[in-house]
Structure 1
């Protein structure tokens, strides 16, 4: 059950300061009294602390290792320890570069009504020029895939056998999907594409009937091999001009 919606949640994080590792979340916004932002920073402290079970060596780590540790911390140590676990869907993406790697990866885990499967790779080093999305997917589904997420239900309602629906959707996608990203895209253009897709989703949800579950300022960051993690746009609840030495934010 949705209790409230807010426009200022932090859902994008530099998961390990000084390294090209980021995290992004959608869905459930808190575990108990702790926001996902706070829990992400708790994990970041453990990833940084030598002697911690979660410590990663900056010179010898893999993105799969980081994603597996993140899943363990979020699901086993935080979510599963709640007296009352929230229902609904929670997704957490971990993206960046393994130590010494030339190309990046994206890994993901999700908690769906209390269950959590192992981490999966959404984009590996050989296939990382793709677009991923979650949370409120309908707008981008229609834009990128060319059809609604309810297409399967529509085909079933039209009399198509359930076993034939996956193949039908795959065939439809061959003609309707559009590719907007490529491996050689300059970083500035990738930023513009991300902003366009986020704003499109925000405005789509705004005019839909029901609660406005997507809104507020958009946070954008890049992860590159040599520049590591860089903020492009982000919101603060305080003025950075008044806190010039502050670095320990998301």
Structure 2
């Protein structure tokens, strides 16, 4: 499990995540947790486009981190076998999201698994940032669920602002939406007809949810909010009676119109003095 967060405002979009990656056996029991996985990426260096991943840590032997850097090489025009993938002057974030789907699902996933993926396979990938010449950012979402590709879907258009979170939902669902992830199940057990559960849940969330984002909030406050959301989830899971599958260093990046993709905080496995 993991936590990935975006906070989209008028002045840009913030990406944040934990660093935990979990390995389980065939029965779903946690075998090992590492706390140095990379989940936040600049998809093309020099362009205001970022990515966030959660779910499966790899496809085949390669990690999602390495695969994403392979994709970045293509999008940057540095792969001689795929020069047509290089982003031109009129690229859109939707174009990039579609390339993510084509690369991860149509090419790598199908080559590795064919029509028989591992049980309960799931991979999520968010693409966010600015289309060429755009004044406001966008957020797109792509997922592989079992043997199917879902999306890319536009989650927040240029005129939409707010937080989004995926992976470990419980802490932020309770804090921001006002209900836990099992709320709809409880409605069913309490006698609400199944066909009315979603409507009832929407009504309750509409009254209990807490607005935490103004579209005009400064980018630094969006950074602070995204960091808070990841940190709170890490602490919530850490005190829960379960394996600490959310944790490690928090990584945060901000994408703005004029500054582009900028790291706010990140972990490095090498010394800056030795590798300037």
Q: Tell me the TM-score normalized by structure 2.
A: 0.85
1:114 matches 2:147: yes
Residue of structure 2 equivalent to 1:247: none
- Where structure 1 has 5 or more consecutive residues not aligned to the other structure, the ranges are 245-250
| 1:117 Cα deviation from its structure 2 partner | 1.8
Residue of structure 2 equivalent to 1:146: 178
Given the alignment, which residue of 136, 143, 150 partners 1:103? 136
| 1:6 Cα deviation from its structure 2 partner | 1.4
Given the alignment, which residue of 210, 214, 228 partners 1:196? 228
Q: Tell me the TM-score normalized by structure 1.
A: 0.93
Instruction: Determine helix, strand or coil for the equivalent of 2:273.
Output: helix
Q: CA–CA distance in 2 between the matches of 1:181 and 1:241? A: 39
1:238 matches 2:270: yes
Q: CA–CA distance in 2 between the matches of 1:205 and 1:104? A: 31
Given the alignment, which residue of 63, 69, 72 partners 1:41? 69
Residue of structure 1 equivalent to 2:237: 205
Q: CA–CA distance in 2 between the matches of 1:212 and 1:79? A: 28
Residue of structure 2 equivalent to 1:2: 24
1:20 matches 2:48: yes
Residue of structure 2 equivalent to 1:248: none
Deviations 1:107-154 (A, max 9, x none): 011111221122101110111x11111011110111111101111100
Task: Please say which of residues 199-208 and 79-88 is displaced more in the overlay.
Answer: 79-88
Residue of structure 2 equivalent to 1:71: 101
Instruction: Determine helix, strand or coil for the equivalent of 1:221.
Output: strand
Q: CA–CA distance in 2 between the matches of 1:146 and 1:53? A: 47
Given the alignment, which residue of 93, 109, 112 partners 1:82? 112
Q: CA–CA distance in 2 between the matches of 1:179 and 1:54? A: 39
Which structure has more relative contact order (CA 8 Å, sep 6+)? It is: 2
- Where structure 2 has 5 or more consecutive residues not aligned to the other structure, the ranges are 1-22, 26-31
Q: CA–CA distance in 2 between the matches of 1:137 and 1:5? A: 19
Task: Please say which of residues 204-213 and 160-169 is displaced more in the overlay.
Answer: 204-213
| 1:92 Cα deviation from its structure 2 partner | 0.4
1:135 matches 2:167: yes
CA RMSD of aligned residues (A): 1.4
| 1:52 Cα deviation from its structure 2 partner | 2.3
1:155 matches 2:183: no
Q: CA–CA distance in 2 between the matches of 1:90 and 1:141? A: 21
